[in-house]
Amino acid sequence: MIKNDLFLRALKGETVERPPVWMMRQAGRYLPEFMEIKAKYDFFTRCQTPELASEITVQPIRRYGMDAAILFSDILVIPQAMNIEVQMKPNFGPYLPNPIRSQKDVDNVIVPDVKDALDYVYQAIKATKEKLNDEIPLIGFAGSPWTILCYCVQGQGSKNFDKAKEFCFTNPIAAHGLLQKITDTTIAYLKEKVKAGCNAVQVFDSWGGMLSPVDYQEFSWQYIQQIIDALKDDAPVIAFGKGCWFALDTMAKSGASALGVDWTCSARNARYLTGGNITLQGNFDPTRLFSPPAEIKKMVTQMINDFGKDKYIVNLGHGILPNIPLDHAKAFIDAVKEYQSPS
């Protein structure tokens, strides 16, 4: 049994004494102990070495005591396993030297045996579970099929993913073929993650907000729905679409246990759009962690009051930034732990 099950209870919609808290990207780049590991090992070595990935996963827990850990990994391990070369270039980000631009390229993409191709991830989960010793739950994650397609077609990060969108709109058959291959791989991958010990999974649709509401349903949401349908009986699923407030009503009917919300959507609107019955997660602007610690604490308390303490998981509206001062991150976590409902 997990000793601190606040996060899992919030996912079930149970009444809690305070909401749970964790931060997207909490395992990593803002921590000095992470930077020491980073100085010695390149990015994918860190992902592919279970001892390193598990150590990085538990570093923020030791320092701040969040209510859930999220496995240190990357969404791009999926295309790597699918026979698509992915490099992580320092000061540049992901780079795919052979982007997918045609039906022939899609035909060359494989749906791998995830047990074999991604075994290092499951070993990292097992090593992390040992370190966590049932103190708190562990979250596994994957990128949404659309978000993965964005990198596979664009070949790198982008402000607008114009080449990815052009590919979908001019070659929809090939695009849907690729999206389905990514979806099938992701479902198998997340199922293995749960078997290895993850207590919940999150699907990150980081670039969903690049699409119009109609295109979002066609090129992103229908594939996330397949993932939720396949996983929801195995573990709670959190769906997070950045910039996708327009789809919150659809997402609320999906069978997901919780929905992530970014900072452009108020608590009131998020509750209204989702019908008020589903657990919500978010939505502190990560850049707001530069505010003075006393101000952060006030804002976090206000945020909890706005969402309500139940059916709510405190988080950022996207990943923590690399240059956030350590005591500011601590102020964010402590504000939640010290929270008391207004009488």
Q: Is 27 flagged in the annotation as binding? A: yes
Residue 178 covered by a domain: yes
Full 3-state SS string of 18-63 = CCCECCCCCCCCCCHHHHHHHHHCCHHHHHHCHHHHHHHHHHHHHH
The total number of structural domains that make up the chain: 1
Cross-strand pairs, 258: 238, 279
Within-domain flag for 139: yes
Is pLDDT at 319 greater than 80 in this prediction?
yes
**Residue 288 annotated as part of some ligand binding site:** no
Q: What is the DSSP letter of 219?
A: I
Residue 13 lies inside a defined structural domain of this protein: yes
63 labelled ligand-binding: no
Please check if 331 is assigned to a binding site: no
Question: Residue 177 domain-assigned?
Answer: yes
Domain extent, residue 174, equals 6-337
Question: What pLDDT was estimated at residue 341?
Answer: 86
Model pLDDT, residue 41: 97
318 annotated as belonging to a binding site for a ligand: yes
Percentage of the chain lying above the pLDDT 90 cut = 99
Asked if residue 25 belongs to a known ligand binding site, the reply is: yes
pLDDT over 70 percentage in the chain: 100
Ligand-binding annotation for 28, yes or no, is yes
Average pLDDT over residues 10-39: 97
The mean pLDDT of the chain is 97
Q: Is 206 annotated as a binding residue?
A: yes
Pairing of strands 312-316, 200-205: unpaired
Residue 343 has pLDDT above 90, yes or no: no
What does the DSSP assignment read for 88-147? EETTTEEE-SS---SHHHHHT-----HHHHTHHHHHHHHHHHHHHTTSS-EEEEEE-HHH
pLDDT at residue number 233: 98
Rounded mean pLDDT, 98-125: 98
Whole-number pLDDT of residue 107: 98
CATH number for the domain harbouring residue 17:
3.20.20.210
Is the pLDDT at 190 greater than 80? The verdict is yes
pTM: 0.97
CA distance 257 to 327: 31
- Per-residue pLDDT, averaged over 189-216, amounts to 98
pLDDT for 200 beyond 80: yes
Q: Is 170 domain-assigned? A: yes
Is residue 342 situated within a structural domain? Answer: no
User: Is 343 among the domain residues?
Assistant: no
Categorize the per-residue pLDDT at 91 as very low, low, confident or very high, splitting at 50, 70 and 90: confident
